[in-house]
Amino acid sequence: MKFRPLHDRVVVKRLESDTKTKGGIIIPDTAKEKPQEGEVIAVGAGARDESGKIVALDVKAGDRVLFGKWSGTEVKIEGQDFLIMKESDIMGIVEA
């Protein structure tokens, strides 16, 4: 991908949600909610503090993260859908 976010912004690709419930019921596309979990694709250099120093981000490319339902701005880059959001919109990192 030839896109690099600036400052404390992060590019996230939504992970696909399951099409079946745990009980085996198939969920139609019209009833699905947008997943709130994604994979970090790219991160910016970091935000500047009051003294002007760059503070590195806590997330890195490859991390699986949880974010708010209405977080970020949806964009299409090279035919793929991504979200661009600030690091503060990310609620946490999902660890295996």
**What's the pLDDT at 39?**
92
Q: Where are the domains of the chain?
A: 9-16+32-94
Q: What does the pLDDT look like over 48-59, one tens digit per residue?
A: 888 989 888 889
In CATH terms, the fold of domain 9-16+32-94 is 10 Kd Chaperonin, Protein Cpn10; Chain O (2.30.33)
Question: What percent of the chain clears pLDDT 90, i.e. is strictly above it?
Answer: 23
Q: How far apart are CA 64 and CA 90, in angstroms?
A: 10
Contacts of 93 (CB under 8 A, 6+ apart): 58, 59, 63, 64, 65
**What's the pLDDT at 68?**
86
**What's the pLDDT at 80?**
87
Taking the model in full, what pTM does it have? 0.74
What is the chain's mean pLDDT, rounded?
83
Q: How far apart are CA 14 and CA 81, in angstroms?
A: 8
